[in-house]
């Protein structure tokens, strides 16, 4: 499978520049995520990849082929839009096989593929239902099956989970990831949700104001952010001794070496305790797993010392 390469892409809507010199390589078979706040240019970049928008500058390549000028229908991309864009009056089966009829595939091949992807998306028992008769999660599965059935060279997912409630979002992202692994298709996933990005991606590009700030594995982005914005966007971090330190990388001890602190607040999170502590220099958050009786039993007003557990390679504060 070929790499997909965005070379020095910039884009302006009228006089407004919304993408600024984007260079990205999405490796063949990889699950690649664009993560960034609303308005940073994620959808514009996806539309450039799909061919709906011609970039003001730059090129799009697949392997050794320049596809910058290629029409969308010739790019063979499977796309899942935020609102799914399903045909409400058609059944599940009709929605899934639509792209195959448009492409005039032989009836036998249409049937085979439709059955395979219906099954893969877990929709067998709903195949004759109409779209209005499905839950949000089921509709999303139809959208994914419909995108995959054309056997595209790439799958593009634009915030596919944003219409689902939190619990369903977690379940669906795992399903999408499992399906992607099984099919092995190169995937570009868009989200503004850092948890979602960290949990499903092979690699992530963090975007802000039309620029890619950092590209890396979830571990690299979280543990070694290259700047403050990236650190803050993927989780909370303390400013501690001129560095950015995650709450779970800090440790409270009764005594010994460390920065003297007072516990100002304790929040119980079930799986963990979150302590707010204060030193002469500032305030910090410390996370500790709840280990039942093995947990330290701190009370508000207790004093202790604060240390950093690991020498992370995080950005400077
Ligand atoms: N068709 C358009 N015409 C003019 N401005 C647009 C158009 N589409 C998007 N924009 C603007 O471009 C910027 C990036 O938008 P978009 O790519 O949709 O960001 P995201 O998907 O990250 O939320 C935003 O400021 C948005 O308002
Ligand atoms: Mg968008």
- Residue 82 is encoded by which pair of tokens? 């935020």
Judge if the beta carbon of residue 42 lies within 6 A of ligand 1. Answer: yes
15 lines ligand 1 (CB under 6 A): no
Residues flanking ion ligand 2, Cβ below 5 Å:
43
pLDDT at 241: 87
Nearest residue (by CA) to ligand 1, atom 7, is: 13
* Ligand 1 pocket residue status of 269, Cβ below 6 Å: no
Q: Would you say residue 313 has pLDDT above 60?
A: no
Cα–ligand 2 centroid distance for 42 (angstroms): 6
CATH 2.40.50.140 matches 243-308? yes
Say yes or no to pLDDT of 39 above 70: yes
The answer, yes or no, to whether residue 314 has pLDDT greater than 60, is no
Question: What confidence tier does 104 reach under pLDDT thresholds 50, 70, 90?
Answer: confident
**Helical (H) or strand (E) element with 112:** helix 107-120
Looking at the CA of residue 47, tell me the nearest atom of ligand 1: 17
Pick the CATH number of 4-228 from 3.40.50.300, 3.40.50.180, 3.30.300.30, 3.40.50.620: 3.40.50.300
Q: What pLDDT was estimated at residue 250?
A: 95
pLDDT of residue 316: 62
Check residue 311 and give its pLDDT.
Answer: 63
Q: At which residue do the structure tokens 């890619």 appear?
A: 212
Residue identifier of the C-alpha nearest atom 17 of ligand 1? 41
Evaluate: CB of 266 within 6 angstroms of ligand 1.
no
Ligand 1: residue whose CA is nearest its atom 12 = 18
Domain boundaries, the chain: 4-228, 243-308
- Residue 211 CA to residue 201 CA, distance in Å, equals 19
Using the predicted structure, report yes or no on whether residue 116 has a pLDDT greater than 90. yes
- Protein residue whose Cα sits closest to atom 14 of ligand 1: 41
Q: Average the pLDDT over 22-33 and give the result.
A: 98
Q: Using a 6 Å cutoff on CB, does residue 116 contact ligand 1?
A: no
- How remote is the CA of residue 296 from the centroid of ligand 1, in Å? 49
Name the closest-CA residue to atom 18, ligand 1. Answer: 43
SS3 152: coil
57-62/272-278 β-pairing: unpaired
Average pLDDT over residues 234-238: 95
- Work out the burial of residue 182: count CB atoms within 10 Å of its CB; fewer than 13 is exposed, 13-18 middle, 19 or more buried: exposed
The model's pTM: 0.92
**237 to each of 16, 119, 134, 223, 312, how far by Cα in Å?**
33, 43, 41, 11, 12
φ and ψ of 20, to 5 deg: -130, 100
**Ligand 1 pocket, 44 CB below 6 A?**
yes
pLDDT higher than threshold 70 for residue 263: yes
Residue of minimum CA distance from atom 24 in ligand 1: 39
Confidence of residue 165 (pLDDT cuts 50, 70, 90): confident
Q: What is the pLDDT of residues 203-217, one digit of tens each?
A: 999 999 999 999 999
- 95 CA from centroid of ligand 2 (Å): 24
By alpha-carbon position, which residue is closest to atom 10 of ligand 1? 13
Phi, psi of 4 (to 5 degrees): -110, 125
Strands (DSSP E) found in the chain: 4-13, 16-26, 31-35, 57-62, 65-66, 77-80, 154-158, 187-191, 203-208, 211-216, 238-240, 243-245, 250-253, 259-268, 272-278, 283-289, 303-308
**Nearest Cα to Cα of residue 58 among 9, 24, 21, 22:** 9
Distance from the CA of 2 to the center of ligand 2, in angstroms?
25
């Amino acid at each position: 499978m070929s790499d997909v390469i965005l070379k020095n892409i910039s884009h302006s809507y009228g006089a407004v520049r919304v993408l600024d010199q984007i260079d990205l390589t999405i490796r063949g078979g990889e699950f690649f995520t664009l993560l960034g706040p609303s308005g940073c240019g994620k959808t514009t970049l996806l539309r450039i990849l799909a061919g709906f928008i011609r970039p003001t500058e730059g090129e799009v390549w697949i392997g050794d082929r320049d596809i910058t000028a290629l029409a969308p229908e010739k790019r063979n991309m499977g796309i899942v839009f935020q609102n799914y864009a399903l045909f409400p009056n058609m059944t599940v089966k009709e929605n899934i096989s639509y792209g195959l009829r448009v492409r005039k595939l032989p009836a036998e091949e249409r049937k085979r593929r439709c059955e395979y992807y219906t099954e893969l998306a877990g929709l067998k028992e709903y195949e004759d239902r109409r779209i209005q008769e499905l839950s949000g999660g089921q509709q999303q599965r139809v959208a994914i099956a419909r995108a995959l059935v054309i056997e595209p060279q790439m799958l593009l997912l634009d915030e596919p989970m944003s219409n689902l409630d939190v619990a369903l979002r977690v379940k669906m992202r795992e399903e999408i990831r499992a399906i992607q692994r099984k099919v092995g298709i190169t995937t570009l996933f868009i989200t503004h949700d850092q948890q979602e990005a960290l949990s499903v991606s092979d690699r992530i590009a963090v975007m802000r104001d039309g620029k890619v700030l950092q590209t890396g594995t979830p571990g690299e982005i979280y543990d070694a952010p290259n700047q403050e914005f990236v650190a803050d966007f993927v989780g909370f971090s303390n400013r501690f001794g001129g560095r950015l330190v995650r709450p779970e990388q800090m440790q409270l001890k009764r005594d010994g070496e460390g920065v003297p602190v007072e516990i100002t607040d304790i929040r119980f999170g079930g799986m963990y305790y979150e302590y707010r502590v204060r030193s002469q220099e500032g305030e910090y958050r410390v996370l500790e797993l709840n280990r039942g009786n093995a947990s330290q039993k701190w009370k508000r007003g207790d004093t202790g010392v604060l240390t950093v557990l690991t020498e992370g390679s995080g950005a400077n504060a």
